Chains A and B, each alone.
Chain A
């Protein structure tokens, strides 16, 4: 019995890091595989994002002049709303059939679970952005294919997915679940959204990058700070 266990289990841990990364990878793989099959999460995020853009179109009368000044706002509001939808769904999956316990039973550090979930959420947000941007460009004849803009979206999404994953893990354990996440999340990610909107705006107005470096710095500082907070506190959110 013991020998068999030894044969199956990796002897000792020759490389703790590779086991850690393997666990992170396994969580991402699991989320992607089931998502590619059901398309529940990405599907609802995308449809919702398109609807938001359409509503903005009529609510703001996006003619050429106003469009230029509100594009960045419309885009980020869309990402943020679609993002909460995805975050809620991604954590709700772990609640079904007790899967969160299953994750917690695995002999890996809890931060590996956090990174797995957060990276999965980040990936979903980026996929939505990658689809929404060309659609927006097409609908409103605006060129959004700018490398700097991609940078802003990645930095913004990292912070959003980090804080969002941490808070959604709390929200799913509360009675008020789905409605709780945006209330917890929005006031905390406000600086991130301000920075992202302003940076996007400046990029679309073709302001030289040197002048908007401040916004990039702010995004980076926010991302790093909250990644640190999330790693330190995730244990307390999932234990009992």
Chain B
């Protein structure tokens, strides 16, 4: 087993520090929002988690395409790693959104396009993992994962559009304004700074986690290889 690369060690440290700073910025530096109060602070990590979810699934789609071209298992490892992390962050995104929606919209759940799309996206990638689970041959698993990861990712924007469309030209108009408009607020410069810093931090968290997960996947591969060697020796 190879030791942890130096860059990864440094990245671990940097990410930890960034996370700490981001927490301070969100809870201490950013001002308290006038109308919603402290619950508005969910917003910083909520959006960041959503961003990481989207980024992770994009990485999966791209890694899948590269796998299909190059046929190197490391791209497939990256694709799965990214899906697993994306699922966790999308869940954080949906859950934190729900916590915020309770006081802001007075409901845990509404059929807002963004909410529904995030949930469908979560289901898409749970399906992705179920597909992989049903296949024993690693090559086939990787190929099918790549194909499904691409198709799933391409369907997300169309899903978003169709749900949004659903609201705007639905013949029976339910409420005249977009529900997401409720609870909108203007960001002060300090809020904007905290927000951008959170985005940066979460991106770092994502990269660090993916790296660890890919390493884990490689180690699992090596264990498998050793096992085979033992069995065939």
Contacts and interface: CB of A to CB of B under 8 A. Distances in A.
Interface of A: 163, 166-167, 170-171, 173-177, 180, 183-184, 187-191, 194-195, 198, 201-202, 205, 207, 211-212, 214-215, 218, 221-222, 225-226, 229, 233, 236-237, 239-240
B88 interface: no
8 contacts: A174-B131, A176-B133, A177-B134, A180-B134, A188-B151, A188-B152, A194-B163, A225-B154
Interface residues of B, number: 33
Contacts of A221: 158
B201 interface: no
Contacts of B170: 198
Contacts of A240: 139-140
A61 B133 CA distance: 40
Given A175-B134, A214-B165, A226 B127 contact: no
A184 B148 contact: yes
Nearest to B172: A69
Contacts of A183: 127, 130
Contact of B131 (A170, A191, A205, A218): A170
Q: Which 7 A-B pairs have the closest CB atoms?
A: A174-B134, A176-B134, A191-B162, A191-B158, A194-B162, A233-B147, A187-B124
Interface of B: 68, 120, 123-124, 127, 130-131, 133-136, 139-140, 143-144, 146-148, 150-152, 154-155, 158-159, 161-163, 165-166, 169-171
Main secondary structure of the interface of A (DSSP, over half): helix
Contacts of A202: 171
B148 A198 contact: no
A207 B151 contact: no
Contacts of A163: 151
